[in-house]
Chain A
Amino acid sequence: MRTTRRTLMGTLLTGAVAAGLVCGATLANAADALPYGLKAGKPYAGTKLTYLAPVAGQYEGHEARLKEFTDLTGIEVEFEFIPFRNLLEKILAIKVAGDAEPDLINYKDDWGPGLKDLFVPIDEMMAADKVTLDRYYPAHQLGVTYDGMIYGLPLRGHAQLMFYRKDLLEKHGLSVPKTWNELAEVAKVIKDKEGIGIGMYYSPKAAQNVAVWMNILWSNGGELFRDGKVTFNTPEAVEALKYYVALENDMKVNSEGAKSFEQYDGSLSMGAGQSAFFMGWWWHYGSRILGKNTTLTPEQVGFAPLPAFRGDESTTFAMSMPTAINVNSDKQEAAWEFLKWVSNPDLEKRNVIEKEKRNVIVALHRKNLMDEEVNAANQGLQMAAAGSLESSRIFPQLAVWPEVMQVLANAISDAVSNGADPKEALDAAAEQAQKLVDRG
């Protein structure tokens, strides 16, 4: 077949027009495309969502930037803040009532297995919008996944760190302790010379003593459960409890009040200059150890991974607070749009570096924890937490875990305050816990 000049020109012209049309359409689409996978064209404009969140600077930071989301999507969001201590009660009330509101619920990861039928699995939504959990650390990924399904995105999360008085260690020529025995020795020196010790806590209130004991337990090779059986009364577990109790009763290296202290009291004690060490969630650093009402400056406070009990490596415990979509909500698609926006790493980064109105330190995205700007604004706290999070574990994912944890907290408190034998206390707790597990 012969190709004439006219045919060739016609073909080229047609091709050029077609290419132009395709490019034009692509450019138009690109102009309409929204960040964070948000849907273009404001399909949910006018929708009003409600979001239940605990009182924390981080969520206040989200609320303060809501206009950006509304401008992008036309969706309005009303935050309902509730003190963390009452959050579970509120969520259970929502579950019993079968309420369609709030559309979005923030919860603690270990409550998830018992609450999951209140939440929408978001695997398909994530896949459709190419949102993955890879951006988070394994402990935070696990915290939103139950029975292989993803029920939320982690918005808040904590790593455990050991905070110490850098100035006092330098003053007495001491090194940062890397093991629990070293900690006891260093704390003893500081207590003898300065009169202040470790801001430890043993109160069963809120069961936070369990988190400290678990670090010693894991580092000692113990486990809470094995193959569905309670194993927190094994020799390793008993040894861990004996050591935890001995810090208070035999070594006497804690600050006053540890038996009745909960974690809040421990960090408050350190912030008030009454303790030289504190072990707990990193968020305490931003508001209770340093902050408007404390006596310390960033130069006085150092942080390091929690000490190891056996060997050099410690296995710390991490927790997260995911946000999920209410299964009874009739605005689930709009809620997903909000979840994509509120969980984006850029918003998180701005929340932790913009310090004018609130001192937020909590970040979860891997890239933010390693970010230079983020670390510069927070004395390198996120980088330290990143190391801790790499080897972190989470609470067991059992519906009965919150009650098992309370049983354990009571046993620990009984051993330290009432002189109960650690082995007997753990045996009794294990028996009670096994009944709870078997009952399901």
Chain B
Amino acid sequence: MRDRHLKYLLMMPALLLVTATVIYPLGYAGIISFMDWRLSRSRVPTDFVFLDNFWRAFFDDPSFLNSLGVTITFVAGSAGGAVLFGLLIALLLARRGRGYSIARTVLVLPFAMSPALQGTSFRFFLNPEFGIFDAVLDTLFPFLAHVDWLGSSGWAMTWLILTDMWHWGPFLSLMLIGGLLSIPSDTLEAARVDGASAWTSFWTVVLPQLMPVLAIAFVLKTIFSFKMFDYVYLLTGGGPGESTSTMTYYAFRMGFTAYDMGYASAIAFVLALLLVVVSAVYFRLLFPRGEAG
């Protein structure tokens, strides 16, 4: 009896924390998304409008549909790119030794840096007049000398993805290094004895055994990519045009430029639903049926 009460008591702090920081804001945003709350008219939500905000998003607002497409493009590019980049680093650094250990520690730095600082820095790096990235790329590839890196849709999206890859790739590589180092060495030795090349060993021995870690890294990165805001806000402002306007950026714009908190909440809620689906996949991968309990 006492044990039963004790376990609830011990869980209470965590439950309260989750309720205050996750359930309450999510629930409140959910309620607001069904309401008319234009800050230019009232400081509090006014009328219940049922599905009006969602209807407007999907059937009467091309900018929202654009932001959905931009988000999917960004998620595909950044999640895929960051995992591949992380895998590449992991393959280079998955060795035992002091030098590798130091290199792995240094890898945490890009992830530890504030995205705001990175966004601002990359904007300077890419400046066509004095940016260091621009200068280096112009020297290496003279045919790119007059490219305005953030001035066309394709390049702006590319640099958003590359900036995000630079932030996440090293962190994901740490996950993958752990996975690589846990692969039994006898399987690799057996492949070598059978005369397999390094490439064949990678494809037939390493990759299959690394797949669970890769899948988790990919799904985790996907979830974070869906929430991309910082780099869009600092690097491109959603432009050129609306070509890099992600859903989070668009929700922010609707809330803080259009003063329409009800509509902004509806957009945020659609994003939250998308994340719930991706999270479900994530948990399914982490805890396959039969292992969860």
By a beta-carbon cutoff of 8 Å, the part of chain A in contact with chain B is 88-89, 92, 95-96, 98, 113-115, 117-118, 202-206, 255-260, 262, 265, 269, 272, 274, 399-400, 402-403, 406-407, 410-411, 413-414, 416-418, 420, 428, 432, 435-436, 440
Contacts and interface: CB of A to CB of B under 8 A. Distances in A.
23 contacts: A88-B257, A96-B43, A96-B44, A118-B43, A203-B239, A204-B237, A204-B239, A256-B128, A256-B148, A259-B151, A260-B150, A260-B240, A262-B237, A272-B130, A274-B130, A399-B40, A402-B257, A402-B258, A410-B241, A413-B239, A414-B241, A432-B62, A435-B60
Contact of B239 (A115, A417, A420): A417
Size range of the interface on B?
A: 35 or more
B73 to A, nearest CB: 15
Contact of B258 (A118, A400, A410, A428): A400
A204 B43 CA distance: 28
Nearest to B60: A435
Interface string B146-177: 10111111001000000000000000000000
Contacts of A418: 152-153, 240-241, 243
A403 B257 contact: yes
B236 interface: yes
B240 A259 contact: yes
Given A417-B152, A418-B243, A92 B259 contact: yes
Contacts of B41: 399, 440
B39 interface: yes
Contacts of A417: 151-153, 239-241
A204 B151 contact: no
A257 B129 contact: yes
Contacts of B126: 260
A435 B64 CA distance: 14
A435 B242 CA distance: 18
A256 B126 CA distance: 12
Nearest to B241: A414
Given A96-B43, A205-B239, A410-B241, A257 B127 contact: yes
Contacts of A117: 43
Contacts of B86: none
Contacts of A407: 63
B241 A413 contact: yes
Contacts of B77: none
B253 A406 contact: yes
Interface in B234-282: 236-243, 253-254, 256-261
Given A402-B259, A410-B239, A418-B243, 5 more contacts: A114-B259, A204-B239, A255-B129, A260-B151, A260-B239
A260 B129 contact: no
B130 to A, nearest CB: 7
Nearest to B255: A92
Contacts of B238: 204-205, 410
A96 to B, nearest CB: 6
A205 B241 CA distance: 10
Given A260-B151, A272-B130, A414 B39 contact: no
Contacts of A274: 129-130
B243 A399 contact: no
Contacts of B62: 428, 432
Interface of B: 38-41, 43-44, 60, 62-63, 126-130, 146, 148-153, 156, 236-243, 253-254, 256-261
B275 to A, nearest CB: 23
A420 B130 CA distance: 29
A258 B257 CA distance: 24
A414 B240 contact: yes
- Most chain A beta carbons < 10 A, residue from B63, B238, B241: B241
A406 B257 contact: yes
Contacts of B130: 272, 274
A204 B146 CA distance: 21
A436 B62 CA distance: 13
B254 to A, nearest CB: 8
Most chain B CB neighbours (cut-off 10 Å) among A114, A257, A399, A436: A257
The 5 closest A-B pairs by CB, nearest first: A205-B237, A259-B151, A414-B241, A417-B240, A403-B258
A269 B258 contact: no
Contacts of B39: 92, 95-96, 114
A145 B70 CA distance: 40
B163 to A, nearest CB: 14
Contacts of A260: 126, 128, 148-151, 156, 236, 239-240
Nearest to B37: A96
Nearest to A425: B241
A236 to B, nearest CB: 23
A212 to B, nearest CB: 15
A124 to B, nearest CB: 24
Nearest to B243: A418
B132 to A, nearest CB: 14
Contact of A92 (B128, B149, B237, B256): B256
A428 B7 CA distance: 59
Contacts of A257: 127-129, 148, 151
A260 B148 CA distance: 7
A96 B44 CA distance: 7
Contacts of B259: 92, 114, 399-400, 402-403
